[in-house]
Amino acid sequence: MKKLVYLIAVLLFVGCAKEEATTYKEMKSDESLSEFFTDSELQDLAKIVDFFESEIRLDKSKPKDEAYFEFNKNIIEEYHKEIKGFKIPLNYKLQEEVYSKIDTAFFKEIWVHKTFYEGLDSKTAIVDKAYDLNLFGKYILFLKSLNNEDVLFRDFYKMFSLTNEISFGVQASAFYQFKMKEFKGIKRRMFFAVYYLTVNDKMHNYINRKS
């Protein structure tokens, strides 16, 4: 019995390792990604994508773009049904474990704690507990670099550079219109993985800014 449990554990580990290696190879073979990010950064990005896909693609026989499409569509439909109290079905504790496996310096190139100000004089600084994308980080600058190649990245960067925060309520309407083709390719999968993990973090660490 112990041998059987050990064998299953080994097979699961090997399966996860193969998945991560596959994602990394996809990123490495993508010219835009491989030129913009270092090998170690691509490995960290692969960890993010692999975790997200392990959460949304329980049926491994299902094509990845189909899993992304269905997750996106179902999440937005659920959000519109129940805006108050809505939660994204991603395991946040496991998400935090993924955070711990990413190089600290590169993590800050993706996510940061934003500071906002309250009070009549707007001088009371409060650091948001939730992570949001770093407007000046390498990840956002990568999206900016592709503004002539991908209209989604172009429009997202323009909006984010103005608001400096992700707003699922605003983006949901546009994302709901997406067809399956919008989720093809490693760059699009990376974008939606980072996006939805950011939204999940914000929902778990939301601070009511109203006084």
pLDDT per residue as tens digits for the range 46-88: 999 999 999 999 899 999 999 999 999 999 999 988 767 788 9
Q: How many domains does the chain have?
A: 1
Question: To which H or E segment does residue 104 belong?
Answer: helix 104-110
Q: Which domain holds residue 22?
A: 2-204
| Residue 9 belongs to some domain of the structure | yes
User: What backbone torsions phi and psi does residue 124 show, to the nearest 5 degrees?
Assistant: -85, 105
What is the pLDDT, as a whole number, of residue 52? Answer: 98
| Residue 108 belongs to some domain of the structure | yes
Q: Report how far apart the first and last C-alpha atoms of the chain are (Å, whole number).
A: 59
CB burial string 67-84: b at 16+ within 10 A, e below: bbbebbeebbeebeeeee
| Residue 209 belongs to some domain of the structure | no
Q: How confident is the model at residue 125 (pLDDT cuts 50, 70, 90)?
A: confident
Q: How confident is the model at residue 103 (pLDDT cuts 50, 70, 90)?
A: very high
d(CA 106, CA 76): 30
Does the pTM surpass 0.95? The reply is: no
What is the pLDDT, as a whole number, of residue 87? Answer: 86
8-30, pLDDT tens digit by residue?
A: 444 444 454 455 589 999 999 99
Q: How confident is the model at residue 206 (pLDDT cuts 50, 70, 90)?
A: confident
Indicate if the pLDDT at residue 179 is higher than 70. yes
| Residue 53 belongs to some domain of the structure | yes
Q: How confident is the model at residue 92 (pLDDT cuts 50, 70, 90)?
A: very high
| Residue 95 belongs to some domain of the structure | yes
Chain Cα centroid distance, residue 178:
17
Say which residues have a Cβ less than 8 Å from residue 57's Cβ, sequence separation at least 6. 64, 67
Q: What is the mean pLDDT of residues 161-172?
A: 92
| Residue 211 belongs to some domain of the structure | no
The upper half-sphere exposure of residue 128, i.e. CA atoms within 13 Å in the direction of its Cβ, equals 21
Indicate if the pLDDT at residue 99 is higher than 90. yes
What is the pLDDT, as a whole number, of residue 7? Answer: 45
Q: What is the DSSP letter of 86?
A: -
| Residue 169 belongs to some domain of the structure | yes
Say which residues have a Cβ less than 8 Å from residue 95's Cβ, sequence separation at least 6. 51, 197, 200, 201
What is the pLDDT, as a whole number, of residue 190? Answer: 98
| Residue 199 belongs to some domain of the structure | yes
